Structure formats: structure tokens, C-alpha cells
């Protein structure tokens, strides 16, 4: 049981183009804060170019903060970057509630607006 204390578990959801309206990427959304635990990175999503999450794609993912305005940490094709920023701006409230573990994955998915 001691080994379980070393594992940090994060609830993750993959949003595919049908969910987001952004062709060519999968957004990896995290419920990043848990009761009594502060996350050192801040509220963010990961953008994986391609049609599904793979270990290689995740390794090459780009971070986008949920700040206002969103900040892209890394590089994305201009067309995709604009759409991801638009998506974050439209869905910031829902994404932040999910990040703060105030809503379930189901509620997050039900409230996300596609572009």
C-alpha cells in the first residue's frame, strides 16, 4: 500500500474534433486540482496534433493555459492555434470548473461548446 502514496492520479478526458470542432487535434483536459493538493503548473490543457492520443503525440503536445488570454506554451500551426484559443475562450468557465474538480467529467462534456 505504501507505493500507492507515491502515485498522483489525475482525471483526464480526451476531446476529439467531434467534441471541439477543431480538426486535426485532440485536446487532453485535466481535472488538475484535488482537495488539499495544489498543482504546480496551473490550469491548462494539452493539444495533441493528430486524430488520437498516443505516447509519442503526448510527448510532443503543446500546453495552452486557461488564463485570460490563453497562453500557448510551445508551437502549433497558426490555423490550429487560433481555433484552440477560441475554444478555450468560449469554454474557459467549464474547463476551470473541471480543473478545480467542481464538476464531473460527464458535466464537463455536457457543457463544452463546439466551435
Our CA angle for 106, 45, 92, nearest 5°, is 65
Other C-beta atoms lying within 10 Å of the C-beta of residue 43: 17
Residue 89 lies inside a defined structural domain of this protein: yes
CB 48 within 8 A of CB 58: yes
Q: Is residue 110 part of a domain?
A: no
User: Residue 35 falls within a domain, yes or no?
Assistant: yes
pTM over 0.85: no
Which residue segment(s) compose the domain that 35 sits in? 7-104
pLDDT digits (tens, 9 = 90+) for 65-114: 999 999 999 999 999 999 999 999 999 999 999 998 899 889 999 999 99
Provide the domain count of the chain: 1
Question: Rounded to 10 degrees, what is the CA torsion of 38, 27, 81, 97?
Answer: -40
Amino acid at each position: 500500500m505504501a507505493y500507492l502514496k507515491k502515485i498522483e492520479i489525475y482525471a483526464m478526458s480526451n476531446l476529439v474534433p467531434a467534441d471541439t470542432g477543431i480538426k486535426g487535434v485532440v485536446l487532453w483536459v485535466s481535472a488538475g486540482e484535488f482537495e488539499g493538493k495544489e498543482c504546480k503548473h496551473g490550469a491548462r490543457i494539452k493539444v495533441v496534433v493528430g486524430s488520437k492520443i498516443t505516447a509519442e503525440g503526448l510527448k510532443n503536445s503543446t500546453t495552452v493555459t486557461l488564463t485570460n488570454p490563453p497562453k500557448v506554451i510551445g508551437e502549433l500551426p497558426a490555423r490550429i492555434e487560433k481555433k484552440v484559443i477560441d475554444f478555450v475562450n468560449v469554454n474557459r468557465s467549464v474547463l476551470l470548473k473541471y480543473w478545480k474538480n467542481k464538476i464531473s467529467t460527464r458535466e464537463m462534456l455536457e457543457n463544452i461548446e463546439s466551435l
